[in-house]
């Protein structure tokens, strides 16, 4: 009959250490993924706020600006910028032309 003693205390401690290290790494990875998704969500929200600003609407909690710049004849370039602290500003352009002006 073979000698059945089970695992030694050293083997158990080593397995527990490896499990703790793996769990810590996975939790850190999950935290980094969540932060990345949150950042991406904030950027998408900034694009939405800039689009709303082009339509003349303000969004609470965001700083926005709207500029009308000269473009080709009979057209204006509308530029909306939206930003919030901790995020890169987002700029959205829209070319608006007055169709009543005859083009040459």
Per the CB < 8 A criterion, the answer to whether 66 and 43 are in contact is no
Please give the tally of structural domains in the chain.
1
Q: Is residue 38 part of a domain?
A: yes
Task: Compute the distance between CA of residue 85 and CA of residue 64 in angstroms, rounded to an integer.
Answer: 12
Residue 81: pLDDT over 70: yes
If DSSP codes are grouped into helix, strand and coil, which group holds residue 63? strand
Q: Is residue 102 part of a domain?
A: no
Question: pLDDT (tens digit, 9 = 90+) per residue, 37-77?
Answer: 999 999 999 999 999 999 999 999 999 999 999 988 889 99
Q: Is residue 13 part of a domain?
A: yes
Range of the domain at 37: 9-97
Predicted confidence band at 87 (pLDDT cuts at 50, 70, 90)? Answer: confident
If DSSP codes are grouped into helix, strand and coil, which group holds residue 79? strand
Q: Is residue 4 part of a domain?
A: no
Q: Is residue 2 part of a domain?
A: no
Residue 101: pLDDT over 90: no
Task: Compute the distance between CA of residue 38 and CA of residue 42 in angstroms, rounded to an integer.
Answer: 6
Q: Is residue 103 part of a domain?
A: no
Predicted confidence band at 79 (pLDDT cuts at 50, 70, 90)? Answer: very high
Q: What is the pTM of this model?
A: 0.67
> What pLDDT, on a 0 to 100 scale, did the predictor assign at position 5?
77
Q: Is residue 33 part of a domain?
A: yes
> What's the mean per-residue pLDDT of the chain?
90
The torsion angles phi and psi of 98, rounded to 5 degrees, stand at -85, 110
> What pLDDT, on a 0 to 100 scale, did the predictor assign at position 2?
62
């Amino acid at each position: 009959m073979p000698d059945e003693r089970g695992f030694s205390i050293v083997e158990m401690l080593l397995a527990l250490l490896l499990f703790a290290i793996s769990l810590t790494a996975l939790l850190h990875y999950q935290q980094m993924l969540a932060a990345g998704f949150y950042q991406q969500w904030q950027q998408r929200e900034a694009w939405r706020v800039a689009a709303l600003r082009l339509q003349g609407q303000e969004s609470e909690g965001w700083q926005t600006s709207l500029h009308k710049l000269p473009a080709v004849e009979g057209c204006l370039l509308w530029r909306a910028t939206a930003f919030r602290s901790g995020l890169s500003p987002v700029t959205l352009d829209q070319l608006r032309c007055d169709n009543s002006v005859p083009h040459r």
